[in-house]
Chain A
Amino acid sequence: MNLLTIAFKSLQQRWLSSFLTGLSVSLGVALMVAVLVLNSVVTKVFEQSGTGYDLVVGPKGSDTQLVLSTIYHIDKPIENLPWRFYRELSEHRLVERAVPVNLGDTTEIGNFPIVGTTPQYFLIDPVPDQKFRVKGDGLRGTWDAVIGSQVARKNHWDVGATFKMVHSGQDDHVHNELFTVRGVLAPTGTPNDRTVFVHIDGFFQLDEHEKPVEEAVEREAKFFGESEDQIRERYKNDIAEMQRHAGHDHSGHHHHHGPPSDLQKEVTSILLVMKGKEGFQRGLAASTLQADLKEGFQAQGVSVVQVMTRLMTNLVGNVRDAFLLLTVLIIAVSGIGIFVSIYNSMSERRREIAIMRALGARRQTVLSIVLLESTLLCTLGGLAGMLMGHLLVFCAAPVIEDRSGLLIDPYTFIGMELVVIPGLVLMAMLIGLLPGMSAYRTDVAEALQN
């Protein structure tokens, strides 16, 4: 029989009180572990998602809105940019690759966000050192689509499936055109998993996706700081072709007109990979272009990492800190509970302590037994809490994935958890010290007499 067994027996004797105080520690630790794990996963996802691109270019406005809408599809797009601007950027001396992104529509079934883009989208890694893996041919033809893993799972779609899109606007009408799934993405743990990608040519050919000519001329003149005549002169052939087509009789039939002219095309945002080696060179190129954009155009270039870091620090970080503070408070309250439970038990246990002392237990021995009791409560409660915390993450992972697209590894273990148990042991020592000293000072003769 050792001291640990004696301490365990003592807890066992007061099992209900021991169980309840241990449970309060477990709940605090479970919450803390769940918050830490979920926070690490969310942080990882947010930090990873923009790393393939050096800049996201969009209309002037909120940079956060631009990043959230373009990368995470969780905010409305700001406005659109002229197609000519995309063409110019893709030929810019500092730009290695420019990928257009068009947003706004959703799938008729499942309401998943649609991204109109080019096949080049899939050449940029969604996560560092992890390439897109596509089952099927991918985006090749005008009416081709590639779907994220979650879209495939939830809508039961696979290669060959067809679908229609809902135009997000004042009337939310369904487009007549059918897209065919030509590729299914392997899970990436990013918002791409719950996104449907359609070929940008198809996206442009949908009804109402081309800008009316007069509006397009006015917008482009304003954007580039040119006169409307200059714009008309630039697109005179396209405008003449459109005027010819306007005279054509459409009665009794409906057909696709082919791609609209560049004047009528627009993009929501543009993803840029800069020239040069990854790191400083690309960063410098991105900063230079960012500065140029600020001065010359009604557009902005935004570093995804910078925006996300700010968002993490200001919002997500604060929410996490608030949760952590809450869990620390819960654990502190549990600690007080353990203290009260052990301290209150001391008066009724004074006789037991005196018996042990009469049998030859030293003062330090009874102090150790009390400290072991609080350590056992905290450690067992803590271990159960860690298990419960991971169980919570395990159960919450599919729900979170369904609702947010965040792919959570239920077996995620973070380094900070290693501090939890030593921290609890330290807390147990502090909690047990006062009752332990009370046991230490017990007057054996008096307690035995009573």
Chain B
Amino acid sequence: MSLELRNLRKSYREPGGGTLPVLHIDAFDLPQGEQMALVGHSGGGKTTLLNVISGITSADSGQVIVDGVEISGLVEPARDRFRAERIGIVFQTFHLLPAFTALENVLLGMAFAGRPDGAFARQLLDRVGLGQRMHHRPAQLSVGEQQRVAVARALANRPRLMLADEPTASVDLANQQMILDLLRQACQEHQVSLLLVTHSSEVSSQFERVEQLSQFNRPGDRS
């Protein structure tokens, strides 16, 4: 199993002193190599769920098991290391570092995992069609090209799980399908499980497994 969630709870403290429950998931599984689309309305807790799965945010309780490792039980530095080595993340707004070239952005992800591999980084950029533009900075790349760099960066450490948060939402129509295809094919090639969050039915309709977050997340349920 690539991802298992058990009895997961996450709430936020409100300015007034109360708590706002965001996640309450009894059980959720994503088998290794599977690709699924997670659909939910805005403010439904999709991004929080991805942050909890990646270990960026801690859950209040419950278990997050990625590739057989219960990351919810790890201390923060170990979680950071695990995230660097086994989880790839593609953000809606790409989140490339502007001072670094496309190649350096990919290498940056490798650096934090302690696995610098220039040849593989170049190979990935070639794979996403940026072999000729790897020494360009993000500002010199088109929006679609920037998201392709982000996909290459997410694959840099040969992750076991790929989390994609609305990866096509900031891309023009012409590039949306291309990015989606690229992401799905790359994950398939590298046997990476893909959990893609979207609110677009056009995107979700292309996945065999589509889940509504509200179907298994009941934050108001106190049981």
Contact = CB atoms under 8 A, between A and B. Distances in A.
Interface of A: 1-2, 6, 9-10, 12-13, 351-352, 355-365, 444-445, 448-449
A360 B112 contact: yes
Contacts of A2: 111
B190 interface: no
A439 to B, nearest CB: 14
Contact of A363 (B56, B76, B108, B113): B76
Given A1-B104, A1-B111, A6-B111, A358 B54 contact: yes
A363 B78 CA distance: 11
Contacts of A445: 47-48, 51, 56-57
Interface stretch (B84-92, B124-132, B198-206): B84-92
Given A13-B98, A358-B56, A445-B57, A6 B108 contact: yes
A352 B85 contact: no
A316 B47 CA distance: 69
B89 A358 contact: yes
Given A1-B111, A2-B111, A10-B99, A362 B47 contact: no
Nearest to A355: B95
A362 B78 CA distance: 9
Contacts of B110: 1
Contacts, number: 74
Contacts of B54: 358
Contacts of B56: 357-358, 444-445, 448
B76 A365 contact: no
A9 B80 CA distance: 23
30 contacts: A1-B104, A1-B111, A1-B116, A9-B100, A9-B104, A12-B99, A351-B95, A352-B97, A355-B97, A356-B97, A358-B54, A358-B95, A359-B153, A360-B80, A360-B85, A360-B109, A360-B113, A361-B80, A361-B84, A362-B76, A362-B77, A362-B112, A363-B77, A444-B51, A444-B56, A444-B57, A445-B47, A445-B48, A445-B57, A449-B47
Given A12-B99, A357-B56, A361-B112, 20 more contacts: A1-B108, A9-B97, A9-B99, A13-B98, A358-B91, A359-B112, A359-B153, A360-B81, A360-B83, A360-B84, A360-B85, A360-B112, A361-B84, A362-B77, A362-B80, A362-B112, A365-B112, A444-B56, A445-B47, A448-B91
A10 B97 CA distance: 10
Interface string B126-164: 000000000000000000000000000100010000000
B192 to A, nearest CB: 16
Contacts of A361: 80, 84, 112
Contact of B80 (A6, A357, A449): A357
Contacts of A449: 47
Closest 3 CB pairs of A and B: A360-B84, A13-B99, A360-B112
B107 interface: yes
A336 B76 CA distance: 33
A365 B108 CA distance: 12
A376 to B, nearest CB: 14
Per DSSP, are chain A's interface residues mostly helix, strand or loop, or mixed?
helix
Contacts of B47: 445, 449
Contacts of A6: 108, 111
Nearest to B81: A360
Nearest to B48: A445
Contact of B108 (A351, A359, A362, A364): A359
B101 to A, nearest CB: 10
B80 to A, nearest CB: 5
B89 A356 contact: no
Contacts of A364: 77
A13 B104 CA distance: 14
In this complex, the member of A352, A359, A449 whose beta carbon has the largest number of chain B beta carbons within 10 angstroms is A359
A187 to B, nearest CB: 53
Interface string B177-216: 0000000000000000000000000000000000000000
A201 B171 CA distance: 100
A9 B101 CA distance: 10
Interface in B38-79: 47-48, 51, 54, 56-57, 76-77
Nearest to B85: A360
Nearest to B57: A445
A361 B108 CA distance: 10
In this complex, the member of B76, B83, B111 whose beta carbon has the largest number of chain A beta carbons within 10 angstroms is B111
A364 B100 CA distance: 21
Contacts of A365: 112
A359 B109 contact: yes
Contacts of B95: 351, 355, 358, 448
A52 B98 CA distance: 68
Contacts of B51: 444-445
A19 to B, nearest CB: 15
Nearest to B154: A359
A360 B74 CA distance: 14
Nearest to B87: A360
A60 B208 CA distance: 111
A356 B95 CA distance: 9
Contacts of A355: 95-97
Nearest to B86: A360
A151 to B, nearest CB: 60
A11 to B, nearest CB: 9
A1 B77 CA distance: 20
Contacts of A358: 54, 56, 83, 89, 91, 95
Contacts of A444: 51, 56-57
Nearest to A354: B95
A6 B108 CA distance: 8
A351 B95 CA distance: 8
A363 to B, nearest CB: 7
A351 B93 CA distance: 12
Nearest to B153: A359
Interface string B10-52: 0000000000000000000000000000000000000110010
